[in-house]
A = this chain, B = another copy of it.
């Protein structure tokens, strides 16, 4: 059974005229902007510019992943994924959704995706290098956080296993045509996997970036691709009402631009999808948060994605969702079969009403209660139902939001595939670090720091 999307409570029919869209608004978009957006994405897919769309059907990657996995030392029980942003968020989403929280089968994946030394230093103290492999992942091949970790971990491994054995402990996953990482790996004889030039980092989960870690921790890679392929098929429909990514994009776009609902909440009722929501945050924020010129006027746009987890956040954020400003559109993720359950035993006294209740039923009642409580006050939501949370379903979810992001970029009229806004901060940081070629940035930031008024301190 495929995942399904119910958007009745985002429409005025379901949630009232203040909270919902009219059919006319949706159909108007379908006839005009959505038609263009769909055609724009199709053209970029067919032209080879948007490589992510075809990844689910390009199965040669499975052989390459198996080859690299088999090239690692048999002793490997722990895998350090050295990557950040698009090189780690999808992998964490996959690991947390599809493997046991207390790892038993397959290798353990560790994701120290920060330049904070805290986690990595603890890992290097506790892991045995002879039983550890490092996957170095960077689309650009030059990500500074990853480069720094690479040199540290390489040194740690090489001291223990010797230079000759390093090819059984190191893998590089990067764009073959740029950056220093591929050249280094080739020079050292480490196995490599490509991130195709036409696949951006945050759209790369279905390349070796996500598939090698998946294979190492026993996840069904074919299932991931099958689910994504099935969703790609559905998202190719030019008919908005039949296109799940089209509906996600259109409903969010219209609520943002017509109703001022610019905070887009992803709220799985499942601990397993907490990291999926964090993956979505990067995709939505970095793709759609953009400045551009429209007829000479500066436009700064982009909804703010927000994560919540049910039922946990009913005790944290739901008060704000229920009574705060009407600036939010919530997407609930409902899991019909979560694979595991617990039943409350018979008890007396104040807890007797729970006797025989399954936790899954409690969780689901809480989700429905929250959804309907919001709706009763005209506060809109969508609900995605996942019949069974497995690799196939996760593949569907990954592709659904990648396609919705591409379509949203067209609706907003922005480039969803770049991230120019992070360059300045990076340049100033390199200036502070004294990197060659960043002398101008160094004086710029020294100047800024010297000019900062000092009287606002407490």
Contacts and interface: CB of A to CB of B under 8 A. Distances in A.
B458 A317 contact: no
- Copy tally for this chain in the complex stands at 2
A282 B317 contact: yes
Interface string A342-362: 111101011101110111111
Interface in A324-369: 324-328, 338, 340-345, 347, 349-351, 353-355, 357-363, 365-366, 368-369
Interface residues of A, number: 149
A187 to B, nearest CB: 8
A315 B122 contact: no
Contact of A422 (B143, B201, B314): B314
A449 B14 CA distance: 10
A414 to B, nearest CB: 10
B113 A445 contact: no
A316 B425 contact: no
Nearest to A243: B458
B445 A369 contact: yes
Contacts of A5: 457-458
Contacts of A115: 311, 359, 362-363, 366
Nearest to A96: B118
Interface in A189-232: 201
Nearest to A187: B349
Interface string A409-430: 0000000000111101111111
Interface in A417-451: 419-422, 424-433, 435-436, 445, 448-449
Nearest to A270: B116
Contacts of A161: none
B338 A116 contact: yes
Interface stretch (A36-44, A149-157, A164-172): A149-157
Contacts of A431: 369
A344 B456 contact: no
Contacts of A436: 353
Contacts of A429: 362, 365-366, 368-370
Interface stretch (A51-59, A66-74, A301-309, A391-399): A301-309
Most B CB contacts (10 A, CB to CB) among A4, A201, A322 go to A322
A8 B323 contact: no
B320 A289 contact: yes
B180 A291 contact: no
A319 B155 contact: no
Contacts of A121: 340-342
Contacts of A435: 353
B309 A114 contact: yes
B419 A373 contact: no
A376 B453 CA distance: 14
Given A113-B312, A270-B118, A318 B425 contact: yes
A272 interface: yes
A117 interface: yes
A433 B117 contact: no
11 contacts: A14-B456, A85-B315, A117-B363, A118-B272, A201-B315, A247-B458, A304-B320, A320-B421, A369-B428, A369-B432, A373-B428
Given A101-B122, A148-B344, 8 more contacts: A10-B456, A14-B452, A117-B340, A285-B316, A322-B421, A365-B429, A365-B433, A369-B426
Interface of A: 4-11, 13-14, 84-86, 89, 100-102, 113-124, 126, 141-145, 147-148, 150-152, 155, 179-181, 183-184, 201, 234, 241-244, 247, 262-263, 269-272, 278, 281-282, 285-286, 288-291, 300-302, 304, 306, 309-312, 314-328, 338, 340-345, 347, 349-351, 353-355, 357-363, 365-366, 368-370, 372-376, 419-422, 424-433, 435-436, 445, 448-449, 452-458
